[in-house]
Amino acid sequence: MVPLGIAVSCISLGGPAPPHRPAFFFFRDSGHTLPMPDKLTPPSPHLSDGVIALRPLRAEDAPAITAACRDPETQRWVPIIPVPYEEADARRFILLTLQAWHDGSGYEFAIVDAATDRYLGSIGLHLGPNVRRHAIGYQVSPEARGRGYATRAVRLVTRWAFERLGIERLALWFLPGNAASQAVAEKAGFRYEGLVRNWESDRDEMPLDAVMYSMTPEDLADSIAAEAAEAAEAGTLIAAIPPDLSAAGTRTAPFVELAAVADLAPGTMRRITRADLDLLVAWTEDGIVVTDDRCPHMAAPLSVGELNGCVVACPLHEGRFDLRTGEPAQMPTTGGLDADGNYHKPWSPSGAALKPEPSSRKLEARRLTRVNRLRYYPTRVRDGKLEAQLPIVPE
Ligand code: FES
């Protein structure tokens, strides 16, 4: 392998290289292949806010990465990627991002459309020698810019990283004058630290200054609170309850405090228990909803399932429920009755072997199990606290 240049996975708008720049050399392709990640495990399910998702890079992303790295703006703001940039450089880059997973030096993701898996850019969390030396970098393909994807990706990675890695500081830097990166950094909650002289190198290894931003756990909490305040102001923090699906007894029930909004995060779910009610608080792409933390099929806790946009996937029987409508988006594998009493046959996920038929009594129980619509608790925000109308006897 012949190194042709040095770059980081964060090859464009905000691409800071970690000080040691350990693993992201661009090499001409030698046909060498690397094993799939095993030391660092990608989050499962993939990080997603319903609009974008983050997954490890794949060989088929090479043409899109090549196009992005041939873009004059990318080359301008990331003065260390090879010029001209060949598809072999992109293939090598992908292999080295997989190596980063493998050797534990960084979490490297493709930013993709959550619905279509279309490549939109890349983002990496580069691990430094300690919890105060990690850095984040990203690039967004030219045709995907200006739509907030970079901010979404930075938010997803920073929130996940602070929660998962116990980090105390996350750095992000870019070349002076990169206004797009500055906007992303500030929207995502990073704080300006200053101009760092001779921090970067150009393709000829000449020194370049960089603008340094950073984030601490306190900044993250502020950023989540600011995002919530923005959403509240825009009237998008709380999602509308589907018609006629308020839970019984809520109309005149008192509001009960559930959580500080700053402790919640977009795209996440959690269980909150008040008296004998286990509630699911889900921050969907339409806003926050509060419903029962019980699958409307067989009562499994939905909070341990997956949230993707507005759809929550039950951890059992593949049932999926649309929090926007309260209706099943996918009936459970066991089949049964829908809310209107229509019968749905059992089914198997594609590729899975058909299970043997259960005893006739179990079969009958499945057939008669009704999957009702979800029910919702009216919700509001007061003084930064999420409250819901709950039909419970106050303690
Ligand atoms: S318990 Fe949720 S789909 Fe069966």
Domain end position, chosen among 215, 246, 269: 215
Ligand 1 test: best mutation among 314, 362, 372, most atoms within 8 Å of CB? Answer: 314
Higher pLDDT, 330 or 27: 330
pLDDT of residue 51: 85
Confidence check: pLDDT of 182 > 90: yes
pLDDT for 79 beyond 60: yes
pLDDT above 90 (res 36): no
Residue 384's pLDDT is 80
How many Cα neighbours within 13 Å face the side chain of 199? 19
Q: Is the pLDDT of residue 139 over 50?
A: yes
Q: Averaged over 172-192, what is the pLDDT?
A: 94
The last residue of a domain, from among 188, 215, 242: 215
Kindly state whether residues 172 and 282 are assigned to the same domain.
no
Ligand 1 atom with least separation from CA of 296: 2
Query: Which is the closest atom of ligand 1 to the Cα of 302?
Result: 2
Q: Which atom of ligand 1 is nearest to the CA of 298?
A: 1
Q: For a pLDDT cut of 90, what percent of the chain falls above it?
A: 62
Examine the domain organization and report whether 209 and 339 are in the same domain. no
User: What distance in angstroms lies between residue 360's CA and the mean position of ligand 1's atoms?
Assistant: 20
Pair 263, 373 in one domain: yes
Domain membership of residue 164 (yes or no) is yes
Report the separation in Å between the CA atom of 321 and the middle of ligand 1, taken as the mean of its atom positions: 10
Q: What is the pLDDT of residue 393?
A: 67
Cα 326 to averaged position of ligand 1 atoms, centre (Å): 15
Can you give the three-state secondary structure of the chain, one letter per residue? CCEEEECCCCCCCCCCCCCCCCCCEEECCCCCCCCCCCCCCCCCCCEECCCEEEECCCHHHHHHHHHHHHCHHHHHHCCCCCCCCCHHHHHHHHHHHHHHHHHCCEEEEEEEECCCCCEEEEEEEECCCCCCCEEEEEEECHHHCCCCHHHHHHHHHHHHHHHHHCCCCEEEEECCCCHHHHHHHHHCCCEEEEEEEEEEECCCCCEEEEEEEEECHHHHHHHHHHHHHHHHHCCCCECCCCCCCECCCCCCCCEEEEEEHHHCCCCCEEEEEECCEEEEEEEECCEEEEEECCCCCCCCCHHHCEEECCEEECCCCCCEEECCCCCEEECCCCCEECCCCCEECCCCCCCCCCCCCCCHHHHHHHHHCECCCCCECCEEEECCEEEEECCCCCC
What is the model's pTM? 0.67
* Weakest mean pLDDT among 4-8, 151-155, 340-344: 4-8
Question: Which amino acid, residue 80?
Answer: I
The pLDDT, as a whole number, for residue 356 is 72
What integer pLDDT is reported at residue 26 of this predicted model?
A: 34
Residue 387 has pLDDT above 50, yes or no: yes
- Ligand 1 atom with minimal separation from the 333 CA: 3
What is the rounded average pLDDT of the residues 308-328? 93
In a domain, 200, yes or no: yes
Output the domain CATH number for residue 307: 2.102.10.10
Grade residue 14 by pLDDT with cuts at 50, 70 and 90.
very low
Contact call for residues 210 and 174 (beta carbons, < 8 A) = yes
306/359 same-domain check: yes
Three-point CA angle 231, 233, 234, nearest 5°: 65
Q: With bands split at pLDDT 50, 70 and 90, how would you rate the model's confidence at 73?
A: very high
Domain-embedded: residue 186:
yes
Residue 158 in contact with residue 188, Cβ under 8 Å?
Answer: yes
CA dihedral (173, 185, 194, 162) positive or negative: negative
Share of the chain above pLDDT 70, in %: 89
We report the CATH number of the domain holding residue 132 as 3.40.630.30
Spatial separation of the C-alpha atoms in residues 175 and 182, rounded to whole Å: 10
Residues 382 and 266 in one domain: yes
Question: What is the mean pLDDT of the segment spanning 23-40?
Answer: 44
Q: 221: CA distance to ligand 1 center in Å?
A: 34
Cα gap 133→15, rounded to integer Å: 16
* Residue 21, in any domain of the structure: yes
Q: What is the mean pLDDT of the chain?
A: 85
Q: Are 192 and 158 in contact (CB under 8 A)?
A: no
pLDDT at residue 27 tops 90: no
Tell me which residue has tokens 């109308």.
389
Query: How far does residue 247's CA lie from ligand 1's centre (Å)?
Result: 20
CA distances from 221 to 181, 284, 324 (A): 21, 19, 27
Say if residue 378's pLDDT is above 60.
Answer: yes
Residue type present at position 250: T
Quick check: is 222 in a domain? no
Closest residue (by CA) to atom 3 of ligand 1? Answer: 319
334 Cα: distance to centroid of ligand 1 (angstroms):
9
224 within domain boundaries: no
Domains in the chain: how many in total? 2
Q: Is residue 154 located within the same domain as residue 282?
A: no
- For ligand 1, atom 1: residue with the closest CA: 298
**pLDDT value of residue 351:** 67
Query: 21 and 76, same structural domain?
Result: yes
**Domain termination site, one of 215, 241, 267:** 215
* CA separation for the pair 106, 99 (Å, rounded): 9
Span 241-293, pLDDT tens digits: 999 999 999 988 999 999 988 788 888 899 999 999 999 999 998 899 999 99
Amino acid at 343: Y
What's residue 19's pLDDT? 32
Q: Using the atom order of ligand 1, give the atom closest to the CA of residue 319.
A: 3
Q: What is the amino acid identity at position 230?
A: E
The per-residue pLDDT for 31 is 39
Phi first, then psi: what are they for 37, rounded to 5°?
-55, 140
> Does residue 84 lie within any of the structural domains?
yes
Q: What is the mean pLDDT of residues 333-337?
A: 94
For ligand 1, mutation pick of 316, 337, 362, 370 (most atoms within 8 Å of CB): 316
Residues 203 and 278 in one domain: no
Residues 114 and 189 grouped into a single domain: yes
Asked whether residue 53 carries a pLDDT value surpassing 80, the answer given is yes
Q: Is residue 232 part of a domain?
A: no
Identify the band that residue 338 occupies on the pLDDT scale cut at 50, 70 and 90: very high
Between 102 and 10, name the one with better pLDDT. Answer: 102
Looking at residue 38, what is its pLDDT?
52
Domain that holds residue 33: 3-215
Instruction: Identify the residues whose C-beta falls under 6 Å from ligand 1.
Output: 295, 297-298, 300, 314, 316-317, 319, 332
